[in-house]
Amino acid sequence: MEPQPTPRPRGRGIYLLPNLFTTGGLFAGFYAIIAATQGRFDEACMAIFIAAILDGVDGRVARLTNTQSEFGVQYDSLADLISFGLAPAMVMYHWALISTKLDGVIPGKIGWVGAFVYAACAALRLARFNSQVGQVDKRWFIGLASPAAAGLVASFVWTCHSFDLDGERLRYAALALTVIAGLLMVSRLRYVSFKGSGPRNDRVPFLAVLIVVVVVVAIAIDPPRVLLAIFAPYALSGPVQALWRRMRRTPQEPPPPSQTGAP
């Protein structure tokens, strides 16, 4: 028998297709920062949501084409830091938080510190997620996911801007939302991931598909308000579920004894 040729060693290249989607998300986040600095907040918010869509696509493309790699994981995490950490913080800063300097030197510093807190929390959230891959239940996110936090911030700015609400008047409400969104990312609260826990969960009922279609149509009709109506309740679901579980675990106090004797 003729000897079989030895296979050539696999090159250390990178997979093009999934990383193209990641690069597209990175570009969208970068564009959001540029648009925010120029006062084009509608375009900045739309760019953040485009980055979120591309972020959801690149991982699925990698799994479907069997092109997962450690490079892709790290590149995706760095792109997410720009698109869902730095970009929303800069959009919120240029829309509202920059106006805190009108109240004095100290409030002016609080404005950019609030934006930095959000960006730092997004970095910590991504680092924690990467370090715990394979150790947590895939049905849940521990802490608000950075794309959801970015969606909350961007939809708030987009909705207010569509109503011609000036960020200068809402600067402290915007500051509170920015800091709360950042703290939710690094919290230990559980959020539904909608990923399921195995191959069987890839199949969804017909009603779920119908709901998705209705939501997509509603977003196409009125994007800012529908997106805010989606992301705000989702951000609140973590604290509400934690409070509900805590109330169920708390034993009820026995009723006070009757003060009157037997008849």
Nearest to 194 by CA among 140, 134, 136: 140
SS3 142: strand
Cα distance between residue 19 and residue 205, in whole Å: 31
The residue written with tokens 């925010």 in the block is: 36
Cα distance between residue 32 and residue 42, in whole Å: 9
E runs forming strands in the chain:
140-142, 190-192
Cα distance between residue 218 and residue 145, in whole Å: 23
- Name every residue whose Cβ is closer than 8 Å to that of residue 213 and which is 6 or more positions away in sequence: none
- Name every residue whose Cβ is closer than 8 Å to that of residue 237 and which is 6 or more positions away in sequence: 191, 192
Q: Which run of H or of E encompasses 159?
A: helix 146-162
Q: Are 61 and 17 in contact (CB under 8 A)?
A: yes
Instruction: Please work out, in degrees rounded to the nearest 5, the angle formed at the alpha carbon of residue 44 by the alpha carbons of 40 and 48.
Output: 175
**Whole-prediction pTM:** 0.84
pLDDT value, residue 83: 95
Q: Are 47 and 32 in contact (CB under 8 A)?
A: yes
pLDDT value, residue 259: 45
191: which strand partners? 141
192: which strand partners? 140
Q: Which CATH superfamily is domain 13-194+204-246 in?
A: CDP-alcohol phosphotransferase transmembrane (TM) domain (1.20.120.1760)
pLDDT value, residue 2: 52
- Name every residue whose Cβ is closer than 8 Å to that of residue 227 and which is 6 or more positions away in sequence: 49, 151, 154, 155, 158, 159, 219
pLDDT per residue rounded down to tens, the chain (263 residues): 555 555 444 445 567 788 899 999 999 999 999 999 999 999 999 999 999 999 988 878 888 888 778 888 889 999 999 999 999 999 999 999 999 999 988 888 999 999 999 999 999 999 988 887 666 667 788 899 999 999 999 999 999 999 999 899 999 999 999 999 999 999 999 998 876 555 455 566 777 788 888 888 999 999 999 999 999 999 999 999 999 988 887 654 455 554 444 33
**CA of residue 88 relative to chain centroid, distance:** 10
| Tokens describing residue 151 | 């969606």
DSSP state for residue 86 in the 8-state scheme: I
